[in-house]
Structure 1
Amino acid sequence: MTESAFTMPGCGPGDRIRFAGEPRRRRHRHFGRGHAFGRRAGRGDIRAAILALLAEEPMHGYQIIQELTERTGGVWRPSPGSVYPTLQQLEDEELVREAASESGKRVYELTDGGREQAAGAPAPWSEVGGESAEALATLHDLVHQVMAATRQVAHAGTPVQLESAQEVLRDTRRRLYRLLAEDDDAE
């Protein structure tokens, strides 16, 4: 049966009925997944990062993800959806090739052309991690604390508390955007 086969009063198009025992679908965004929290990693960054890491040693895709996450203090966590297609593109361009592996995983190493391209290029994770990594991690933690507090107010708050919480969040959002506008004015 398709999802559209079931309709109920009050359900609109795209709404789905969850049946007993069926797990809920979680829909939320993860800060830091695939990009730096506060600064999106550029499209060229993942390519340069892969070349720089493979210049150090052959790796498989998951190792590349782990290394980038570790080297940026968790600020930049590239997704498999950005790493594996980039590896395939680099292989198509003959900049990387599969290497023999004891683990049976697809391990990649640089070709001579890949070594030439990786030589002398600055490590792209240094500009992402840098000195602000700790400040970004603290901001990330605060966002999660605010989300947890918001959930508690939503669950246990009175209608007056819910309205007050909405106004606090609206004001906070406006103040954050104002910070960015002030930064743009200073430049």
Structure 2
Amino acid sequence: MSPFRHRCGRSEARRYHREVPASAPDYRRHGRGGRGGRFFDTGDLRLVILRLIAERPRHGYEIIKDIEERLAGAYSPSPGVVYPTLTLLEELGQIAVRSTEGGRKLYAVTPEGEAALAGSREEADALFARMDALAGDQPDGSVLQLKRAVHNLRNALRMRLSRGPLTEEQLHGIVAMIDDVAHKVERI
């Protein structure tokens, strides 16, 4: 696939996410359109990261975990997205490394970053409100707890399968456990 065609596909996806009405009850309007989708549109994650660092200096890993916690596990940005974004923000002069301990950089906002954040305050507020709304699907966050649990099961299966093939006995055991849980959920 040519680089041009790849970029066109991305812009078409971005256009789709912008066309979905803000009143849509589904979280896919935020860029997380199923398998392989993104939670944030272009530039949104950069603004979220900048605001988090403006709240207090943070390490990259803390940013990943903070976003994941704010969304109760429904989404977690990958290091392959967060660390290049931190590098970009640093190159733009909006954040700077305050200290380095054990190879981990602690990022702090700069005056340029504060100015950029002030210029995008409404957009940042809307992003955080959207994240809060998603995390608050239910008053107690139960929907997101369920999504997190399903995500954990999927990851556990992937990790086990990555270690090598299953024996027939192991496969039947896993399938039986999952089927048993599904039947129990149906009866609740």
Q: 1:49 to 1:123 in 2, by over 3 A?
A: farther
Deviation of 1:44 after TM superposition, in Å, equals 2.1
SS of the counterpart of 2:72?
Answer: coil
Deviation of 1:117 after TM superposition, in Å, equals 1.6
SS of the counterpart of 2:97?
Answer: strand
1:41-70 deviations in whole A, cap 9, x for unaligned?
Answer: 123221111111011111110111111112
Is 2:105 aligned against 1:106? yes
Deviation of 1:112 after TM superposition, in Å, equals 0.9
Q: Residues of 1 paired with 2:99 and 2:147: CA distance?
A: 42
1:56-115 deviations in whole A, cap 9, x for unaligned?
Answer: 111110111111112221222111101100000111111111113566521111111111
Residue 172 of structure 2 aligns with an amino acid whose one-letter code is A
* Aligned counterpart, 2:149: 141
Higher relative CO (CA 8 A, sep ≥ 6), structure 1 or 2?
1
Q: Residues of 2 paired with 1:125 and 1:74: CA distance?
A: 15
**Residues 1-187 of structure 1 mapped to structure 2, 5 A cutoff:** 40-42=38-40, 43-101=42-100, 105-119=104-118, 120=121, 121-122=124-125, 124-130=127-133, 131-132=136-137, 134-141=142-149, 144=153, 155-156=171-172
Residue 96 of structure 1 aligns with an amino acid whose one-letter code is I
Query: How many residues were matched structurally?
Result: 122
The gaps in structure 1 that reach 5 residues or longer are: 1-34, 158-164, 166-187
- Could you say which structure has the larger radius of gyration? 1
Deviation of 1:137 after TM superposition, in Å, equals 3.2
1:114-153 deviations in whole A, cap 9, x for unaligned?
Answer: 11122323163441342225324324535749x98xx999
Q: 1:37 to 1:136 in 2, by over 3 A?
A: farther
The runs of 4+ residues in structure 1 deviating greater than 3 Å are 35-40, 101-104, 139-145, 151-157
Q: Residues of 2 paired with 1:123 and 1:103: CA distance?
A: 36
Q: Residues of 2 paired with 1:105 and 1:51: CA distance?
A: 18
Check conservation: 1:59, 1:108, Cα contact below 8 A.
Answer: yes
SS of the counterpart of 1:100?
Answer: strand
How high is the sequence identity, in percent, across the aligned residues? 33
Check conservation: 2:73, 2:148, Cα contact below 8 A.
Answer: no
Residue 135 of structure 1 aligns with an amino acid whose one-letter code is V
The gaps in structure 2 that reach 5 residues or longer are: 1-30, 158-165, 174-178, 180-188
